[in-house]
Amino acid sequence: MQWHRTPPWGRGHSAPFVLIVAITACGTLGMHLIIPALPDTARALGVSAATIQLTITLYLIGLAIGQLLYGPVSDRFGRRPVLLAGLALFTLAGIAATAAPNAWTLVIARILQSIGACAGLVLGRAIVRDSAAADRAAARLAMLTLVMSAAPAIAPVLGGYATAWLGWRTAFALLAIIGAATLACAVLLLPETNVLQSSARTSLLLGSLRLFRSRAFCGYVLGGACTTTSFYAFMAASPFILVDLLHQSTERVGLYYLLLMAGVAAGSLSANRVAGRIRIQVALRLANGFAIAGAAAFMLTALTGWLNVVSVIGPVVVFMVGAGMASPFALSGAISVNPRAIGSASGLYGFTQMAYGALCTVIVEVWRPGSVFTVAVVLLVSALLGQAALSLAVRRPSA
């Protein structure tokens, strides 16, 4: 028995759903768990807020670039061996981040951690699609998003209390522990799900580029990115908005993120319920309607200067409902364009998501850092772009 191909306890081509959730969640946990610790980390290492925010921006860039590789490689060589390598890197980099003596060592460790983390993001989605027909993929991905929303909801709470009680390094240590536990479970339980890998012998780059010939694929990818990851602009700026402008404690900041993730969960649950019952065009317009409404309300807050916890968090929760609902439909559409390039499509989708998320964080760091107005512009423009792109994806060909 080859351990990197066949698990000692897993059977067939079906992975336990709980394990898929854990695998996929590693990438998002690496983003969300440390957010409440950023102000304390900056003070402890003697650097500015902009410098320590690189641990978020470069993490997102690493997630974006790494996903270009994991998808097509897993199409060729299988999900399991590629995923195990990524989880191992995530764990080792987490240990390095915990012990980092200065900010730049921490930043480098976070880049490596992100490259490992994106294996779970790409291959968790691909494993779901491997095991489900196209017409069921949206519902199953919505359920995955729904369950996963608990992870980034709880993560900032854990990170906030861990930082308050035991110091900022504890947040990074938790990521290393989570990575090690997930790796161990994957080694024992995760079967190989890519039954088409033996025929995937075409050029990895050529197979990926062919996807961009599809107008639907491009629309789903761009629309999904604009609608779902633009909120990273708020996540990057929110610790400083909530702590410095609204004078909230670190523990409370973590609790506020629960509300944001509750919005994602509500949107994902709605997607799961309506998948297969209403047309995808209607579902996507409804989802983007929530996103646009939330972004517009947040812009109104910024323009009026009426800043409090309700006026800041409330509109973003509405935005997150739209993002949670749009995500599974956009993702399912993108990875169903070519059944023999599911991993490549998942990787390209994830790359575009993370690249756009990183761009959004750069904007809020460079253009009027800490400004509510900057975040509002990013959210509103992104929601409108997402509506246009997704409309392109679902538009019927003229001929």
Per the structure, the count of domains in the chain is 1
Work out the pLDDT band at 380, boundaries 50, 70, 90: very high
Half-sphere exposure of 199 (CA within 13 A, CB side): 6
Whether 10 maps to a domain, the answer reads no
- Judge contact between 191 and 319, C-beta under 8 A: no
183 or 369: which carries more pLDDT confidence?
A: 183
pLDDT digits (tens, 9 = 90+) for 145-155: 666 666 666 77
Confidence grade of residue 108 (pLDDT, cut at 50, 70, 90)? very high
In a domain, 2, yes or no: no
In a domain, 1, yes or no: no
Q: Is residue 80 part of a domain?
A: yes
In this model, does residue 398 exceed pLDDT 50?
no
The pLDDT score that the predictor gives to residue 112 is 93
Does residue 5 belong to any structural domain of this protein? no
Pick from 366, 74, 325, 69: which is nearest to 195 by CA?
74
For residue 131, is pLDDT > 60?
yes
The predicted pLDDT at position 90 comes to 94
Mind listing the pLDDT tens digit for each residue in 29-77? 888 788 888 888 888 888 887 788 788 888 878 877 887 787 777 777 7
Of 253-267, 283-297, 385-399, the one with minimum mean pLDDT is: 385-399
User: Crossing angle, helix 79-98 and helix 169-189, to 10 degrees?
Assistant: 160
Q: Is residue 376 part of a domain?
A: yes
CB 158 within 8 A of CB 44: no
d(CA 57, CA 42): 15
Length of the chain equals: 399
For the segment 304-330, what is each residue's pLDDT rounded down to a tens digit? 888 888 888 889 999 999 988 888 888
CB proximity list for 60: less than 8 A, separation 6 or greater: 31, 114, 232, 354, 355, 357, 358, 361
In the three-class reduction of DSSP (H, G, I as helix; E, B as strand; rest coil), residue 195 is classed as coil
Does residue 197 surpass a pLDDT of 70?
no
pLDDT at residue 353 in the model: 80
What percentage of the chain reaches a pLDDT higher than 70? 82
Other beta carbons within 10 Å of 254:
27
pLDDT beyond 70 at 374? yes
pLDDT in tens, 242-287: 877 777 776 677 677 778 878 888 888 888 777 767 777 788 888 8
Contact assessment for residue 282 and residue 270, using Cβ atoms and an 8 Å cutoff = no
Distance in angstroms between the alpha carbons of the first and the last residue of the chain: 52
Residue 374 domain boundaries: 17-195+207-394
Read off the pLDDT band of 199 (50, 70, 90): very low
Buried-state track 373-384, b at ≥16 Cβ within 10 A, e below 16: ebbbbbbbbbbb
Instruction: State the CB neighbour count (10 A cutoff) for residue 148.
Output: 22
Give the model's pLDDT for residue 4: 54
In this prediction, residue 149 carries a pLDDT of 64
In the DSSP assignment, the letter for residue 197 is: G
The sign of the dihedral angle between the CA atoms of 328, 261, 263, 20 is: positive
* pLDDT at res. 23: 86
- In angstroms, rounded to a whole number, what is the distance separating the alpha carbons of residues 319 and 288? 9
CA dihedral for 336, 208, 75, 203, sign (positive or negative):
positive
Residue 6 lies inside a defined structural domain of this protein: no
For residue 66, tell me if it sits in a domain: yes
Tell me, what's the pLDDT at 1?
Answer: 43
Mean pLDDT of 178-182: 92
Q: Tell me what the mean pLDDT of segment 138-148 comes to.
A: 68
| Among 360, 362, 281, CA closest to 319 | 360
Most confident region among 206-220, 272-286, 287-301, 322-336 by mean pLDDT: 287-301
Q: Smallest Cα–Cα separation from 271: which of 227, 212, 219?
A: 227
* pLDDT for the residue 333: 78
51: tokens are 């410098």
SS (H, E, C) 215-277: HHHHHHHHHHHHHHCCCHHHHHHHHHHHHHHCCCCHHHHHHHHHHHHHHHHHHHHHHHHHECC
Pairwise CA distance, residues 42 & 52, whole Å: 6
Q: What is the three-state SS of 143-162?
A: HHHHHHCHHHHHHHHHHHHH
Query: Which CATH number covers residue 284?
Result: 1.20.1250.20
Among 102-116, 118-132, 162-176, 372-386, the minimum mean pLDDT is found in 118-132
Model confidence at 195, pLDDT cuts 50, 70, 90, reads low
Q: Which residues does 236 contact at the CB level (< 8 Å), separation at least 6? A: 53, 56, 57, 360, 361, 364, 365
